[in-house]
Amino acid sequence: MLRFCLLSLLIAPLLVLPLSGRAESFSQSSVEKITFDLTAISPAGLIGGATSLQSVSYEFCIPASETHRIEVQAIDPSVTVFPPFQRSDWLW
């Protein structure tokens, strides 16, 4: 029993260590992909001066899973989700 506990204490950090910086690096790389100024967008999703407000339109890709769709729509319920295009759907 003591041997099992000691072995567990030695192995546990090895299992967690590779994941320790993953969330931070994932978040940083995700933010770097955004190429427009997020601070220019109002909480209502509008951009521009007081007399020239326009809504912001953008596209993005997420993994094609129900879990990811639910997560994104929880952040912005107005998001429209389209199915991924397949090679047979391309126009040549």
Output the pLDDT for position 19.
Answer: 42
Q: Domain for residue 73, yes or no? A: yes
Q: Domain for residue 1, yes or no? A: no
Task: Give the integer Cα–Cα distance in Å for 55 and 42.
Answer: 10
Q: Domain for residue 56, yes or no? A: yes
Q: Domain for residue 68, yes or no? A: yes
Total domain count for the chain? 1
Q: Which domain holds residue 65?
A: 41-79
The DSSP-derived string for 10-67 is HHHHHHHGGGTTHHHHHHHHHHHT--S-GGGS-TTSEES-TTS-EE--------SSHH
Q: Domain for residue 47, yes or no? A: yes
Q: Domain for residue 63, yes or no? A: yes
Per-residue pLDDT of the chain (92 residues; tens, 9 = 90+): 444 333 444 444 444 444 444 444 446 666 777 777 788 888 888 888 889 999 887 777 777 778 888 888 888 888 887 776 664 443 33
Q: Domain for residue 60, yes or no? A: yes
Q: Domain for residue 66, yes or no? A: yes
- Predicted model pTM: 0.41
Output the pLDDT for position 61.
Answer: 76
